[in-house]
Every structure is written in C-alpha cells, then in structure tokens.
A and B are shown apart, each in its own frame.
Chain A
Amino acid sequence: MQQPLLVMQGVSKSFPGVKALTNVDIRLRRGEIHALMGQNGAGKSTLIKVLTGVYEMDSGQVELNGRPVSIQSPKDAQALGISTVYQEVNLCPNLSVAENLLIGRQPRRPNQAIDWRLLNHRAEELLERLHIQLDVTKPLSEFSVAIQQMVAIARAVDISSGLLILDEPTSSLDQREVQELFRIMRKLRDEGMAIVFVTHFMDQVYEVSDRITVLRNGELVGEYLTAELPRIQLISSMIGREWKDEPHTGKSSDQGASEVWLSASGLGRTGGVEPFDMTIRKGEVLGLAGLLGSGRTEIAKLLFGIDRADQGAITINHEVMRSMFPSKAIEHGMAFCPEERKVEGIVGELSVRENIVLALQAKRGFLRFLPLRKQQEIAEHYKKLLGIKASSIEQRMDQLSGGNQQKAILARWLATEPKLLILDEPTRGIDVGSKAEIRKLIMSLAAQGMTIVMITSEWEEMVGCCDRIMVLRDRQVIGELSGDDIREQRIMEIIAEGGERDEQLQQQVG
C-alpha cells in the first residue's frame, strides 16, 4: 500500500478546563479528499490548528512522508506544503484582495521591488480559476464574507503543494460557489494532493469525499471509506447514539389570516439595495433568497437600522418610523442574528453568559441590571436548550468552537424574546444534529407567534421552513413565492429570469 502523506498519532491537546483532543490518530493519503466530521466542539478545528502549528500539542507525533516533523507555526506548515483555510476567515481586511491572495510571495521586479502590476494580474488569474471576477485592488473589507471566504480558498489553493486543509469552507457559500470549489478540489486531488475537508453538510461530504474520519468529544471514533458508510451511520457515530432522520416538521399554514406586523415601503439605500416594499405578517416565516451579494443581508441591516436607509420608511404595528437604529429596533421587539459572527456577533473577550444576556440587558437599559443569579439562569437555560458545548458559562466566548459560538449568538437573541427575529445564516457551522434541533425550535417559535425573517444559502432549509420567500438579485427584489410555489427549482428560475429581464432592461436603456 502507498505510504500516507501525513500521519498524526496519539495527538492530545487540552486547554485549561477542557480536553479538546485525546489521543487522536489520523492519516491522510495522496489523491484523496478526506472529510473530518464531528459535532460542534468535537475538536476538528483544534486538530487542524495543532497540525498547522497554531497550538502546540501536549503529546503526539506528526510524520510527513514517513519522516517526523515538528511544526511550530503556520509559517512552518506552509513551508512544508501544508496550506489551510481556517474556520473563521483569516485575512487582512485592510489589504487589497490581490495582496491578501499573494502576500508573502509577491512577484518581484528584477530589482527585487514588488511588481504591483503583475501582482494584481496574478490575483485576477487566481480568482478567475474560481470563476470570480472582482476589482482586486479594492480592500478586502469591502466584500462580503462569502467573497472573503472564496479569496481565502483561492489563496490556500494557490499555496498548497501537498496538503490542503479546508475548515468549513462552504459555510457561507451558495451552491454555485460550492460547485466551483468542488471542481477545484477534485482537480487537485487528481493531481495527487491530499485534501482535508470539514463541513456539516452531509450532501457535500458524500459528494466529494473519499474517506471520513469521525471525532467525538475530542476522541477518534474511526476512519471509514465514504462509499461504505451510510449517512445514518455516520451521523450516529458523530453523535454517539442512534439517529433517526426525522422528516421536516410541517410549517404553520395559517399565516393568511394574521395581521401585518412590519411593513417597509420604498426602503432603500444608495450603494446598498434598490428601494423595495415588503410586508411581514405576524407569525410567518419569511425567507430572503438570492445568490451571494444579492442584497439579502443589506435588507436585514436596513430593517434593523444598522445601515441607515436614505429613502422610504418602516412601519411597525401601524407606527411609521423614519429612522431606525438597533436599540430602537430591539425596543420594538426586533432581533437580528448577524451573518459575520466573528465581527458582528461575538464579543470574544466576554464570557458565554455575558454574551447571552447582552442584548437582553441592552433592551432593559443599564439601570435594570439583571442580577448575576438571573443571568446564570438564563445562560444555563439556553446552554441546555441549544446544546452549547462549553466547559462552563463562564468560559470565554472566543474559546468556543465556531458552531457553539453561533448557538450562543442565537441564544442572545432568543433571550430577548423578540416579536420579529431576523436570522442571517443562522445555522452556519452548526452540526447536523443541532441543525435539526434549531430548525425545530424556530418552527415552534413561529407557531407560538414569533415572526421570523430567514436568510440562508441552504435553499433546502429555506424551502423547508418558509411560508413565503422573497427573491433577490443584484440588490433588487425581483419576485416572491408562497404556498406551493415554494420549491428550489422555482427560486432558481426566478433568479435566472430576473437576469434576463435585467439585461433586456439595460438593452432598452442603452
């Protein structure tokens, strides 16, 4: 048998109070896509960080090509041909896209000066391979997380020369981008590279991976060939008990009668979304569908007052509002679970408890202080309800695994008991088991009368949950679906048609 490219043996890693990895083995072979699976907090990211020298392991060995290596830093890892996309996008927001792609190995002129022209050109080429076109001289911060993630992937792909590690690269990508990524991954695999792939999407695992390693609570469960491992069994081995694939719970279907809770007329922002109208009824689940950068997040931010609308007005419960800002929105019973959890969601330095009570406390005002006892109660309640895996509610937020951070943010907003809950990619990075739980929770909240606006790139999830769907394209609302029309196929059609209509429009104008 061919010698594996990389072998990790007996890897253990513990943080104060947590044993993140216990005696884990993994072997990665050339020409293979290897999925690393496990629940939130199982230790996947930690394993990757240990491998790439971000953390020092407590014990264990790494062998590359049969020779023991000691990787002390991401720099060492890169030098050994290991390139990584970490779970949270790790790029420099102030640098241009091109630089982010090529920093550390910029093309030089003969006199050793950085050749900017060539650099930008190369960057464009790199992105072209992923079928992305954008102005690479713009700072990265001007682009959405999705684009940032694509840039990170493009960078890693370009650097990699033996092993490529992708920690939840697809969490904020839409299907089309995912396909692009898979195409590249397959190509690299066929060229003989080893690829580690972490995701919580079962479909994707079965679509691209050849082999699966499952972790549970920091321990190795086993290594399987993808083809030989049925889905149910995979999930069961991840969660450590039998798993029944429950059918989606039916959605509340009595929305027609309920009254309008919020409506927006002609709401828009120059440079953001084109003016649009929308009505949201009490107790309904409204979906915003669209491709990356279609303006879904923008709409949510306008509704919640994070971006100021420069035209139009919002009416909540018949009360017209000219301006909106977060604390006002919260006061009126809105809640917004943002997309970029690292920047907009978590307060890393604070504890899980403080993160959870933050919005509720802000809503109450600083004087009506929640006593510690009460805070603990709330935090413990949601920790249990959402299955947040943390050593205690006093653990620092940034020490939680990605999925658990996401759950804590969700908890923060649920704690405010909102009337309208806006969820922007709420299940990003959340494992299969929890995802189903959360979906169930959302549905039951809606059934109890909570209104929900949901943005998700998983159309299946959207179709499964929503009573009504607004479709966006190029920052315009271009259609609406409800009732039986809600099908993935229809969404795609509308987006595609909208495209034609737009082109026709442009032709007429031009």
Chain B
Amino acid sequence: MKLPLKINSSNITILATIVLFICLFAVGSIFFTGFFAPQVFLNLFVDNAYLIIVATGMAFVIITGGIDLSVAAMIALVSVLSAELLKAGVPPVAVIFGVLVLGIIFGFLQGYVICKFHIHPWIVTLGGMFLARGVSFLISTESIVIDNPVYRTISNAKIPLIGSSTISVSVIIALVTVAAAIYVSRYTAFGRNVYAIGGNERSASLMGLPVMTTKVAVYTLSGFTSALGGIVFTFYMLSGYGLHLMGGEMDAIAACVIGGILLTGGFGYLLGPMLGVLSTGVIQTIIMFQGSLSSWWTKIVIGFLLFAFIVLQRVIVSRKERRPVSQKLKRNRTQKTEIPV
C-alpha cells in the first residue's frame, strides 16, 4: 500500500544518517589510500558487532523512554565469567547458555525494580553497572585469556565475502539481531506497545496495554542483548577482563541517538542503532587512517566530527519538517461540510 521508501518525518533521520555515512566514507576514500576497500567497510561490522547488538537492545529501552547504563559492565562481566568458567572446564555451550540466562535474569531484575518501585532507570541501571563491574572484579582483577578451542575456532572463523574480504561469525549474529529487532518492533504487539509506552506511558496504561510487563520485558531484552553482545565481544577478544569497555554504555547510547532514536522515547527505527554504530565507526576509522593526531587532537577531532554529523543531521531533518503541509492537509481532512440543522 505504501512504499517504505517514501520520505516522511519519521524516517528522515535514518535517511540523513545514511547519506552522511556515505559522505564520510567518500571523504575517507578520497583522502586516504587503502580506505576505499571492501574490507575497511566490513571491518566496521567486524569490529563493532557487539556494539550493534547492544545498541539494538538498548534502543527498545530508550524507545520506552528509559535507559540502561549497565550494558557495558554486563559485557565485561560476561567476558570475565565466560573466561573463568571455560578455564574451569565448563563446556562452551553451557557457558554461553549460562551467561545468556544470567543476562536475562539481570535485566529482568533491573526492570522489575524500575517498574515495581518506580525508581528512575538511570539510578537502577547505574547501580546495576556498579554491581556488574564490581562482581567481575571480585571474580578476577586480572585479565584472563580464553584458549578454549571452540571459542578460538569461532573467533578465528572468517566467512569470505566479495573477493578476499571476510567477515566474522559475530557479524552474522549482529545482523540477525538487527533483523529480528526490526521485525519485533514493527510486526509484534510487544514492539508496538514499546512505542506506545514511549509516546505516553499513562495513555498506554489507560488504553489497557500491559505497560508493566512490557517495560520489564524491555529491560530483560536489554539484559539479554548485552549478554549476547558480551558473548560476541568475548569471541572478539578471547579474553575476560573487568575493565573491558569502560564507558561503553555511552557509545551504545550515542549510537542510538545518532541513529535517530529519541531519548525521550516513542520515536525511532531499529535500523538506527546500527547506522549510528557504523557512523561513529567510520569517524574513528578516518581518525586512524589519518594517523598523525596527538592523543588530545584525536579527542577534539572525534568530537568535532560527531558534532558536525549531528548538526548536519538536524539541518536535514528540520528542513524536511518545515516543508509546507497545506497540500497534504487539504487531503487529510476532506470532511463533508453539511450542517445538521
């Protein structure tokens, strides 16, 4: 009935992000040799698979108007726990299953406390973040190598794509996650309830939607994706370490926001977080290819590029928003004007 490609106020941010991403990639390709290569592009996925997964899960939380600060700490915890369990000889399948369950329980508890006791998610998940990091330090302060053959095989597996370029298993997991998230957000009642709650929680509840259940589910989901992200990250690093991904939750939030998800809730597409991750990823790649910035200039330039990106995005979006709506309105409201006398 409606082409999904139609540009409207709700998908404009996504389009703006894609356009800006392509521009950045083009700029990189022009200025740096070796930049314009399939592998450089694919590496954006390879290196950020875990972040894509986590940001996608977090997006659901953000769309309900909440936030989850515990995701990065959860990844660290998962990595330490996995490493320790594998060292103790627990079979990999059991480890993976175990940490996923842990993530689900952890997320559920956070969600339960948030909803049941009406405590702001920022506080609860900040507590969760301290807790997860703290527990991983209790398990081990040192970094632990993972030399389990299964993990190593998965970690080193390369799936060939075009030419000599390859991707890792994690990329597949990430893409599947994104696809599933898009489907869930659009085609399931749960997904729609998430948007409704973000739009107006009170209304959603008065409309008879299962607000509490959905909110708890959303945090549970985020717990699950951060555990999944943790597993992918563990494949990526083959090590467990309590200091992994310090401040990573900000990266995930930033990815969501750049991908057009409003922190106040209710708006955004689930493709957004991935685009956000790719955009920040390409900015970083440019910095790395540039290769002569001092530590501090690196920060300044990254921040500046981020700033330029966000401002351009806003310019594009608000341009679109300001377009006259008179024509459309006329069609909208063709009410008959007969008068009941």
In the assembled complex, the Cα of A99 lies from the Cα of B204 at a distance in Å of: 12
- A492 lies within 8 A of B341 (CB): yes
- B187 lies within 8 A of A86 (CB): no
CB distance from A73 to the nearest CB of B (A): 7
- B337 lies within 8 A of A271 (CB): no
Closest to B191 in A: A114
Tell me if A94 counts as interface (CB < 8 A to partner B): yes
In the assembled complex, the Cα of A54 lies from the Cα of B202 at a distance in Å of: 10
Tell me if A103 counts as interface (CB < 8 A to partner B): yes
Q: Mark A147-169, 1 if CB is under 8 A from B, else 0.
A: 10000000100010000000000
- A90 lies within 8 A of B202 (CB): yes
- B335 lies within 8 A of A91 (CB): no
Within the complex, which residue of A93, A137, A495 is in contact with B337, where a contact is CB–CB below 8 Å?
A: A495
Using C-beta atoms within 8 Å of the partner chain, give the interface range for chain A: 35 or more
On chain A, the residues within 8 Å of B193 by CB distance are: 103-104
- A92 lies within 8 A of B196 (CB): yes
Chain B stretch 311-341: residues in CB contact (< 8 A) with chain A: 324-326, 328-341
Closest to A93 in B: B199
Tell me if A392 counts as interface (CB < 8 A to partner B): no
- A134 lies within 8 A of B207 (CB): no
On chain A, the residues within 8 Å of B200 by CB distance are: 90-94
Within the complex, which residue of B325, B335, B338 is in contact with A133, where a contact is CB–CB below 8 Å?
A: B335
In the assembled complex, the Cα of A90 lies from the Cα of B210 at a distance in Å of: 15
Q: Mark B152-167, 1 if CB is under 8 A from A, else 0.
A: 0000000000000000
On chain A, the residues within 8 Å of B192 by CB distance are: 95, 99, 103, 106, 114
On chain A, the residues within 8 Å of B336 by CB distance are: 131
In the assembled complex, the Cα of A77 lies from the Cα of B208 at a distance in Å of: 8
On chain B, the residues within 8 Å of A271 by CB distance are: 324-326, 329
CB distance from A154 to the nearest CB of B (A): 13
A95-B196 contact in complex given A138-B332, A495-B339, C-beta closer than 8 Å: yes
Tell me if B195 counts as interface (CB < 8 A to partner A): yes
In the assembled complex, the Cα of A499 lies from the Cα of B335 at a distance in Å of: 11
Tell me if A473 counts as interface (CB < 8 A to partner B): yes
- B337 lies within 8 A of A473 (CB): yes
- B329 lies within 8 A of A94 (CB): no
In the assembled complex, the Cα of A95 lies from the Cα of B209 at a distance in Å of: 14
In the assembled complex, the Cα of A131 lies from the Cα of B331 at a distance in Å of: 15
Closest to A500 in B: B337
- A106 lies within 8 A of B204 (CB): no
- B340 lies within 8 A of A134 (CB): no
On chain A, the residues within 8 Å of B188 by CB distance are: 112-114
Tell me if A176 counts as interface (CB < 8 A to partner B): yes
- B335 lies within 8 A of A293 (CB): yes
On chain B, the residues within 8 Å of A179 by CB distance are: 340
On chain A, the residues within 8 Å of B339 by CB distance are: 176, 492, 495-496
Within the complex, which residue of B10, B202, B205 is in contact with A73, where a contact is CB–CB below 8 Å?
A: B205
With a 10 A CB-CB cut-off, give which of A93, A95, A175, A270 has the most chain B CB atoms: A95
Using C-beta atoms within 8 Å of the partner chain, give the interface range for chain B: 35 or more
In the assembled complex, the Cα of A365 lies from the Cα of B2 at a distance in Å of: 50
Chain B stretch 165-199: residues in CB contact (< 8 A) with chain A: 183, 186-189, 192-193, 195-196, 198-199
On chain B, the residues within 8 Å of A117 by CB distance are: 1
Tell me if A266 counts as interface (CB < 8 A to partner B): no
- B209 lies within 8 A of A104 (CB): yes
On chain A, the residues within 8 Å of B266 by CB distance are: 92-94
On chain B, the residues within 8 Å of A135 by CB distance are: 328, 331-332
Chain B stretch 199-237: residues in CB contact (< 8 A) with chain A: 199-200, 202-210
In the assembled complex, the Cα of A104 lies from the Cα of B206 at a distance in Å of: 12
Closest to B337 in A: A499
On chain B, the residues within 8 Å of A176 by CB distance are: 338-340
In the assembled complex, the Cα of A305 lies from the Cα of B321 at a distance in Å of: 19
In the assembled complex, the Cα of A74 lies from the Cα of B204 at a distance in Å of: 10
On chain B, the residues within 8 Å of A112 by CB distance are: 188
Q: Mark A51-90, 1 if CB is under 8 A from B, else 0.
A: 0001000000000000000000111011100001010001
Q: Mark A92-111, 1 if CB is under 8 A from B, else 0.
A: 11110001000110100000
Tell me if B267 counts as interface (CB < 8 A to partner A): yes
- A74 lies within 8 A of B335 (CB): no
CB distance from A254 to the nearest CB of B (A): 33
CB distance from B139 to the nearest CB of A (A): 41
Tell me if A120 counts as interface (CB < 8 A to partner B): yes
On chain A, the residues within 8 Å of B341 by CB distance are: 492
On chain B, the residues within 8 Å of A133 by CB distance are: 333-335
- A54 lies within 8 A of B189 (CB): no
Within the complex, which residue of B199, B208, B325, B330 is in contact with A74, where a contact is CB–CB below 8 Å?
A: B208
On chain B, the residues within 8 Å of A292 by CB distance are: 335
Q: Mark A229-248, 1 if CB is under 8 A from B, else 0.
A: 00000000000000000000
Beyond A114-B188, A271-B326, A271-B329, 5 extra complex contacts between A and B, CB < 8 Å: A92-B199, A104-B208, A106-B192, A117-B1, A272-B326
Pairs A–B under 8 Å by Cβ, sample size 23: A74-B205, A74-B208, A78-B208, A79-B208, A90-B207, A93-B266, A94-B198, A95-B192, A95-B199, A103-B192, A104-B208, A106-B192, A131-B336, A132-B335, A134-B333, A147-B333, A159-B208, A271-B326, A272-B326, A292-B335, A492-B339, A496-B338, A499-B337
